[in-house]
């Protein structure tokens, strides 16, 4: 599939189960802690991957290295009763969880638990190979989800950070966020603007190298 090895496919499958599940659970748990019981009522306050994984988003992660899970339903009004930053805190909890997972995987590499240079001798990836893919994809998910376009988490972070006088204009264009995102991902490379190569790749590689100490 798109030139991926069996080892890479297996690594991505295991990574998405962990990364997506904990990402969405972090959204749900943060909302619950802030007084919004909507995720709990929707059955999302769980570590069961089946409650969180989106089939097409999962497939995209395997094939393209990025993807998405089912969004966690929240009640912004319930969150704002606790704090004006409630929706932003729920949104940023997911990407920060991916960054934490990447850091934990990188620490295992740094502490010599597994070597990233050992070559696999079967269809299964080595522990080091899996950890490297695990770190890489979690950093990619961290960066991708912070893009300030709906429906990504970064859009809610930007909304909170914007000065009040700018928000009216922001609300007028936010509905077009998914269209802009789709154009960036699909059409962008055709016109010389590769979202992942132009914006994400460089910080992705820098963060990954920093975390693993390469």
pLDDT at 112: 86
pLDDT at 146: 93
pLDDT at 171: 83
Query: Can 159 be counted among the known catalytic residues?
Result: no
Contacts of 90 (CB under 8 A, 6+ apart): 27, 30, 31, 34, 36, 72, 74, 79, 156
Who has greater pLDDT, 193 or 21? Answer: 21
Cα 137 to Cα 58: distance, rounded to the nearest angstrom: 13
Residue 37 pLDDT > 70, yes or no? yes
What would the pLDDT profile of 41-83 be if each residue is shown by its tens digit? Answer: 999 999 999 999 888 877 776 666 566 788 999 999 999 999 9
Alpha-helical (H) ranges within 37-183 are 38-41, 55-64, 76-82, 86-110, 127-145, 153-161, 167-173, 177-182
pLDDT at 88: 97
46, HSE (Cβ side, Cα atoms, 13 Å): 11
pLDDT at 67: 63
114: helix, coil or strand?
A: coil
Contacts of 2 (CB under 8 A, 6+ apart): 63, 64
Report residue 93's pLDDT band, with 50, 70 and 90 as the boundaries.
Answer: very high
Give the range among 9-13, 134-138, 210-214 with minimum mean pLDDT.
9-13
What would the pLDDT profile of 125-177 be if each residue is shown by its tens digit? Answer: 889 999 999 999 999 999 989 999 888 999 999 999 999 888 888 888 888 88
Tell me what the pLDDT averaged over the chain comes to. 87
Contacts of 13 (CB under 8 A, 6+ apart): 62
Count each helix (H run) and each strand (E run) in the chain, helices first: 10, 0
Task: Give residue limits of the domains in the chain.
Answer: 6-212
pLDDT at 109: 94
pLDDT at 1: 47
């Amino acid at each position: 599939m798109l030139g991926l090895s069996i080892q890479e496919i297996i690594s991505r499958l295991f990574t998405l189960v962990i990364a997506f599940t904990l990402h969405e659970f972090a959204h749900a748990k943060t909302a619950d802690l802030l007084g919004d019981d909507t995720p709990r009522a929707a059955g999302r306050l769980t570590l069961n991957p089946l409650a969180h994984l989106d089939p097409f988003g999962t497939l995209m992660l395997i094939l393209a290295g990025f993807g998405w899970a089912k969004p966690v339903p929240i009640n912004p009004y319930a969150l704002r009763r606790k704090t004006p930053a409630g929706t932003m805190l729920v949104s940023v909890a997911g990407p920060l969880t991916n960054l934490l997972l990447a850091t934990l995987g990188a620490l295992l590499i740094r502490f010599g638990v597994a070597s990233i240079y050992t070559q696999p001798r079967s269809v299964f990836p080595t522990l080091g190979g899996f950890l490297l893919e695990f770190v890489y994809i979690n950093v990619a998910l961290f960066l991708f989800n912070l893009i300030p376009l709906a429906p990504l988490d970064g859009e809610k972070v930007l909304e909170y950070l914007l000065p009040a006088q700018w928000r009216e204009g922001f609300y007028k264009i936010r509905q077009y966020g998914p269209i802009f995102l789709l154009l960036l991902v699909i059409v962008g490379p055709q016109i010389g603007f590769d979202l992942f190569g132009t914006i994400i790749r460089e910080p992705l590689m820098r963060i990954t190298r920093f975390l693993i100490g390469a």
